Structure 1
């Protein structure tokens, strides 16, 4: 396939796996038994993605509690951290750091290695952005551990997390930056967003040009339980700042946008030379599975604005960024992946590339 296509990351967990995770949390299932189920779920996810013809696969985040909290094992945390409200009224709450030092308990390279054992094609690895984890630090501070010290530790840990996947042979490391659009909802002046971008660029500055070419950034307005947290924020407020991030690729939610042509024009104006653009061509929170022809037409529209040399396709968001999300079935997720793959191939043929 001459137009590259990659998944974002998460695939819905089976009911069996979700029940086992709840049983482990309640002390009814051993860590060893849960690990066996995780491995089986990763194996099945990789196998099904490869059977669909996906040129790049992920582990589906089958063993992550969520896309955001996987590094936090062993930290001193209270559950009453920042609250993220979604449009349908439900919320997600981050924990709050209570003591120094900040250290990752799990690195993304371990998830990559687990997926590579089952894969015969390249594997990409999603990681959480440093900006998202910066929300763990409490507003009233921590005695003996000021915010600057915390951020210095966070940058070190985020670098090590990305490097563990790069050094492990990841096809690409994708930084999940869904809080970018949310930042503009919380602070329309853009100050919070600018601070997030500056922090993430502190991490990206630790890598050379060749490494940054293998690092991507994903943005979407959130996707959880068929709802979003910031779809009402105008993309025009985010995109000009987004491309200031020193990454080689960008994975952009687009299929669910009301005016994709307007968004594509903005992308074309602000994306920098050398930055590859993967446009979302399936909407994971919409229950209807796209047809290959719908995907083809979305790709052709993007090519009109961006050309074909830097164009790729993806899904708008992960299908289940939080492990307990049951709003989308595995079958629906894989059907949408199939549509993305087939539609991208149809568009490539139509474009003669």
Structure 2
């Protein structure tokens, strides 16, 4: 495949894993039994991705509690009344609130990567949470004896370590999940919060060499949870010019679910950094209908009318189950959509001659 195609990250958990998670929460099984169920789900995820021809795989985030909270699961000094993320259908997710410093990760993403690589026969990509998302843990009224700047220093160091450990463990690519980028424009239309997010993420990215940054990418979408979004109503073109200031080698952008993809593609063409690759979303995890390979092909060909074909890649718009308890999309539908993405990308590459 001469147009690269990569998954974003999460795959819906199998029923056996969901049952084990519920049993563990009730105290009916121990950590070892839960870990065994997680390992089995990761192994099955990788096997199924390889069987449908995915040239790059992920662990499907089977062992993560969510794409955003994996570094802080079980961390002390957290309260439950943090920032609320409202979704269009009325449901909410709530981040915890940090109550004391210093801030340290409780877990790093390379633990997931190392297990996945032992079971994969193709390159493995690893998703990590962007530091900008975790900056929301710090309360607006501050923490006595632990300033926001001290927190951001600690956060930047932890985020750098998370990325670096994955690169050193052999990740094909490390993807920063930056769903809060578009959401920030809903919370603050002036763009000041978004600018702070970009500055913080670049503060971390600047610590890597050009060769290392070529293996780092960033993913953006309007959120995807229980078949709903948190910021699809925000004008994408207000985000993208700032997004492309991030010092990464690849951008994974939601596009299949956009109402006016040509408008978005025109902005991408204007602002995409010269040496970066753009992975466009060609399947919509929120839409229960499985795309056909021809639909995927046509989405790639539409993108190629705006962007150089040799800088194009494809992806899913977002993860299929970013939060572990999200069962809105079935596992089989997720794999069917991924298979359509792969086949449609091959069809497009053939027509484009790349």
Normalising by structure 1, report the TM-score: 0.99
Cα distance between partner residues in 2 of 1:152 and 1:164: 18
Question: After superposition, what is the alpha-carbon deviation per residue over 1:10-40, rounded to whole angstroms, capped at 9, x for unaligned?
Answer: 0000122112112212221100000001100
1:289 aligns with 2:280: no
- SS of residue in 2 equivalent to 1:309: helix
1:304 aligns with 2:308: no
1:99 aligns with 2:110: no
Extract unaligned runs of 5+ from structure 1.
none
- C-alpha displacement of 1:277: 0.1
- The answer on whether the counterparts of 1:7 and 1:315 sit within 8 Å (CA) in structure 2 is yes
Cα distance between partner residues in 2 of 1:143 and 1:25: 33
Q: 1:310-321 to 2 correspondence within 5 Å?
A: 310-321=311-322
Residue of structure 2 in register with 1:35 after alignment? 35
- The answer on whether the counterparts of 1:12 and 1:330 sit within 8 Å (CA) in structure 2 is yes
- SS of residue in 1 equivalent to 2:113: helix
Residue of structure 1 in register with 2:348 after alignment? 347
- Write out the 4+ residue segments of structure 1 that deviate beyond 2 Å after TM superposition: none
1:60 aligns with 2:26: no
Residue of structure 2 in register with 1:9 after alignment? 9
Cα distance between partner residues in 1 of 2:138 and 2:75: 16
Cα distance between partner residues in 2 of 1:26 and 1:105: 23
Q: CA RMSD in A?
A: 0.6
- The answer on whether the counterparts of 1:75 and 1:103 sit within 8 Å (CA) in structure 2 is no
- SS of residue in 2 equivalent to 1:279: strand
Residue of structure 2 in register with 1:172 after alignment? 173
Cα distance between partner residues in 2 of 1:186 and 1:174: 24
Residue of structure 2 in register with 1:189 after alignment? 190
- SS of residue in 1 equivalent to 2:310: coil
- C-alpha displacement of 1:101: 1.1
- SS of residue in 2 equivalent to 1:80: coil
Cα distance between partner residues in 2 of 1:248 and 1:140: 36
- SS of residue in 2 equivalent to 1:306: coil
Cα distance between partner residues in 2 of 1:128 and 1:81: 17
- The answer on whether the counterparts of 1:75 and 1:102 sit within 8 Å (CA) in structure 2 is no
- SS of residue in 1 equivalent to 2:81: coil
Q: Tell me the number of residue pairs that the alignment of Structure 1 and Structure 2 aligns.
A: 353
- C-alpha displacement of 1:142: 1.0
Question: After superposition, what is the alpha-carbon deviation per residue over 1:160-179, rounded to whole angstroms, capped at 9, x for unaligned?
Answer: 00011000000000000000
Cα distance between partner residues in 1 of 2:60 and 2:230: 22
Extract unaligned runs of 5+ from structure 2.
none
Cα distance between partner residues in 2 of 1:243 and 1:89: 31
- C-alpha displacement of 1:96: 0.6
